[in-house]
Amino acid sequence: MAQAKLGKRTIDALGTPERDQFLRDENLSGFGLKVTPAGGKVFIFQYRLGGRGTKTKRWTIGRYGAPWTPAKAREEAERLSILVSQGVDPIAEQKELNRIRETKGFAAYVETFAEGYLEPEWGRSWKQAKRVLEMHAVPVLGDKPIPDIGAEHIYQVLDRLRHRPGIQRTTWAVLSALFKWADKRDDIARSPMEKVDPPSGVKARKRVLTPAELRAIWHASYELEDPRGALVRLLMITLQRRSEVAALPWSELGRDLLLWRIDGLRAKNGQDHLVPLSPLALAELDTIGWKKRGLVLPSSTGKTPVSNFSDMKTTLDRAVLSYMQDAADASAAALGEDRHEVTMTPWRLHDLRRTGTTNLQALGFPIEVTERAINHHQGGEVSGIRAIYNLYEYLDEKVAAMNAWSAHLHNIVTESDGVACHH
C-alpha cells in the first residue's frame, strides 16, 4: 500500500491505476485516498475498534474536489480519529444519527406530535396548529434532530416573523407545546423554549364602530349571498364569536325558551354558554326558517358551515363603502354641499363584539355582565350542580343586556340616512 503526503500537487499528479489503489497519508494514520481505474479519487478513513484482530472499518469522507480539499478532508479524518480514540464508532454513530433524523428529525417529529398530541388534545384547532409548524418552523429547522435544536434555532424561526407579530406569537406557543411534549417523553434532555421569551404579540385592538358604520354594515350585508349576509347580521346581534355563529346547529337553539346554548366543545373557553335570543335574533332566525337538525348557516354543500370569510369580507367592504358613499352624497345634496369621497378605517368582524360590549357599558350594564354576555368569563373547569349554576349565573342580567342591545341596534340600523334600501 503506497504512502505519501496527501496534498493537491500529489493527488493531481496521480495516474490511473489498473485496479483500485489506496494511497495512505504519511502523517495521519487511517487517512488515505482511494483511486479507481475510472479516475475516481475519494478520501477514506480506515479504523479499528478493539485493537489488532478486530475488523478494519472504512469511512468514506468524500470525493476529491470542492468541498473536499485535502486540508478539509484531513480535518475531518482528524475528527474521526479522535472519536475512535474515545471508543466511538463513527459508522454506528452515523447510523444512529440517520435513525434520529428519520424519527426525531424536526419535520418528521411534527407528524408524531400532531398525531400523538395535537389531534387528541387541541380539538378543532389541531390542523391549524400543525399548519403553523409546517409553514413557519419546518422551512427553517428541516430535518435537524430535535435533541440538537437550541434556543438559537428557535430564534431563527421567530426572527423571520418579526413583522407578523400575531403569527410570531402563535408559532412560539405551538413550538412551546411541541418541546414540552418532547421533554415529557424524554425525547430531548431539555426544552430550548426555556430560554426563549414569548413575543410581545399583537397590540390590543381598540376599534369601535360608529353608529353610521354599523348601519352601513347592516344594510350592506344584504348584498351578500345567503347565508353570508345572515352570518354578518347574527354576529352583530348576538356578539358571539365568528366560529360559534358560523357553525351554529339548530339543535343548540330553543325558540320557546328564547335561548341559544353553545356547546362547550365549540366554545373557546370550553364552557357551555347561554345566549339570550333577542327580538332581532328571533327575527333573523325566523327569516332563515327554523329546522330541527342541520346547520343554521350551511355552505353550498349543506353539510359544512359557511366559510371563505376573507372573500366575504372583501365583498362586504365594497358594499359598505358604496352604502356610505350614497349616504354621504344624499347628505351633501340635502345640505347643498359639494360631494366628497368617503373612506372607512379598516375593521374586522371581531370588532363587532367590542363595539357591542362598548355600547352595552354605555347603556349602563356593568363589565361583569357584558363579559358574561360574550362568554369572556373564565370560570375554570367545573361539573355537576356547580356547572349548571355557573351556566345560569347572570342569566337575567344577560337577557336584559341582549334585549337592550337589540333595541339599540334596531334604532341604529333603521335610522334614516337618505339611502333607499330594498330589503
- Ordered structural domains, the chain, with CATH: 3-88 (3.30.160.390), 102-195 (1.10.150.130), 211-414 (1.10.443.10)
Residue 381 reports pLDDT greater than 70: no
CB 275 within 8 A of CB 238: yes
pLDDT at residue number 54: 78
**Cα 325 versus chain centre, distance:** 37
Which grid cell sits at 97?
Answer: 444519527
Residue 55 sits at φ, ψ, to 5 deg, of -70, 135
For 225, the 3-state DSSP assignment is coil
Reply yes or no on whether the pLDDT at 188 is more than 70. Answer: yes
CB 397 within 8 A of CB 274: no
Instruction: Judge residue 139's burial from the number of C-beta atoms within 10 Å of its C-beta, 0-12 exposed, 13-18 middle, 19 or more buried.
Output: exposed
Quote the pLDDT of residue 256: 93
Give the pLDDT of residue 244.
Answer: 94
Mean pLDDT of 90-111: 78
Residue 155: which H helix or E strand, with range?
Answer: helix 151-159
Q: Rounded to 5, what percent of the chain is helix, strand, coil?
A: 55, 10, 35
Closest CA to 285 of 216, 228, 230: 230
DSSP E strands, 100-241: none
Q: Is 269 a residue whose pLDDT tops 90?
A: no
Position 83 scores a pLDDT of: 87
Which pLDDT does position 200 carry in this prediction?
Answer: 79
pTM for this structure? 0.55
Q: Is the pLDDT of residue 186 over 90?
A: no
How far, CA to CA in Å, does 253 sit from each of 222, 294, 371, 373?
Answer: 23, 11, 21, 16
